[in-house]
Amino acid sequence: MATMAKRKKRRGGTATLAPPSEPQVRPGIVGLGRQVPPGITRPPYIPGGEPGPARSDMVRTADEIARMRKAGAAAAEVLLLAGEAVAPGVTTDKIDEVVHEAGLARNAYPSPLGYRGFPKSVCTSVNEVICHGIPDSRPLAEGDIVNIDVTLYLDGVHGDTNCTFFVGEVDAASAALVKETRVAMYAGIGSVRNGSTLNQIGKAIEQHANRHQLGVVREFIGHGIGTEFHGVIQVPHYYERRANLQLETGMSFTVEPMLTLGAPQMYIWDDDWTAVTVDGRRTAQFEHTLVVTEQGHELMTVTPGGECAADRHA
């Protein structure tokens, strides 16, 4: 997701809090970035890593939408495969391998690899990690929850989708968090149609979160997407009066709420990527890429059969 605003890094932000009741995720060893064969087309920010300011039109052409269906379907398929690989003892680096190879097999470039220096092909965010976790040597443990965020670049456009998976059996609070985060995402998406106001997405998400006493992370937001990984549209997952863009048929963006069991405040690890909750409690996320239509929306990140990880694992 796009970052809402640059904030000063918090260090030692947990010092005044009671110790979390469960062991916290610790950084593991990050292996080398994986190789991409020369035949696979790179996105424009490779090799430098800097995408530059977002500047593409908010509305996609019919041809771009047709290509986004394919990129989105590929991302949805790869996310389903990644979810099938989730099990106790499997490292997040193994998930990276699965996503990388499945992406290449579909002739796609894994968009995170080299994006602003991100070292791996997918984001894997475990338990209290909100987003942008870097796959590493840590094995998934029974009872963990893990968000896998897949973005693929295919035929000149990106498809971006994520799902939070259970590792074996999880406690009731974690199960409820994941379930309601998925419902919140679909509640936000449900407000989308030609002529609706963008801030109704965040309003619906925030209302659902409030009803279940869950926090809404504010620092990371949904984003325009298409030829650019992160386009100009900004989608807060809370009600923001000023986000009053009137949606038009053909606009494309992501909806990707991050909800928390405790307080939604975050800080970022020294790796400059991994965002975690300050209070160490768990957090979940779901994401789809969609396009605005006359009557509603079309989800780009579903398989040709209309399947997606969020619905299979619901």
If one asks whether residue 126 binds Co ion (CB under 5 A), the answer comes out as: no
Residues in contact with ligand MF3 by CB under 6 A are: 1, 112, 115-116, 118, 123, 132, 149, 151, 160, 223, 254, 256, 287
| Helix axes of 199-211 and 172-190: crossing angle, nearest 10 degrees | 150
Any idea what the Cα angle at residue 13 is, between residues 12 and 19, rounded to 5°?
90
- The structure tokens listed for 71 are 């990129």
Sign of CA dihedral 185, 186, 187, 192: positive
Q: How far is CA 84 from the centre of its chain?
A: 18
Report the candidate in 239, 257, 231 with the shortest Cα–Cα distance to residue 58.
231
> Which lies closer to ligand MF3 via its Cβ, residue 77 or residue 160?
160
| Helix axes of 92-105 and 62-85: crossing angle, nearest 10 degrees | 140
Which among ligand MF3, Co ion, none contacts residue 132 (Cβ within 5 to 8 A by kind)? Answer: ligand MF3
Provide the minimum distance between the beta carbon of 163 and ligand MF3 in the complex, in angstroms, as a whole number. Answer: 12
Q: How far apart are CA 294 and CA 248, in angstroms?
A: 8
> Which lies closer to ligand MF3 via its Cβ, residue 15 or residue 111?
111
Window 277-306: contact mask with Co ion (x via CB under 5 A): ----------x-------------------
Give me the count of residues in the chain: 314
* Cβ(254)–Cβ(1) below 8 Å: yes
Out of 64, 96, 128, 149, which residue is the one contacting Co ion (CB under 5 A)? 149
> Which lies closer to ligand MF3 via its Cβ, residue 89 or residue 159?
159
Q: For residue 87, how many other CB atoms are within 10 A of its CB?
A: 13
Provide the minimum distance between the beta carbon of 134 and ligand MF3 in the complex, in angstroms, as a whole number. Answer: 8
Out of 200, 254, 260, 283, which residue is the one contacting Co ion (CB under 5 A)? 254
- The structure tokens listed for 242 are 């000023």
> Which lies closer to Co ion via its Cβ, residue 1 or residue 170?
1
The footprint of Co ion on residues 161-190 (CB under 5 A) is: none
Kindly indicate which of the ranges 23-31, 68-76, 242-250, 252-260 contains the residues binding Co ion, using the contact rule CB under 5 A.
Answer: 252-260
Which among Co ion, ligand MF3, none contacts residue 180 (Cβ within 5 to 8 A by kind)? Answer: none
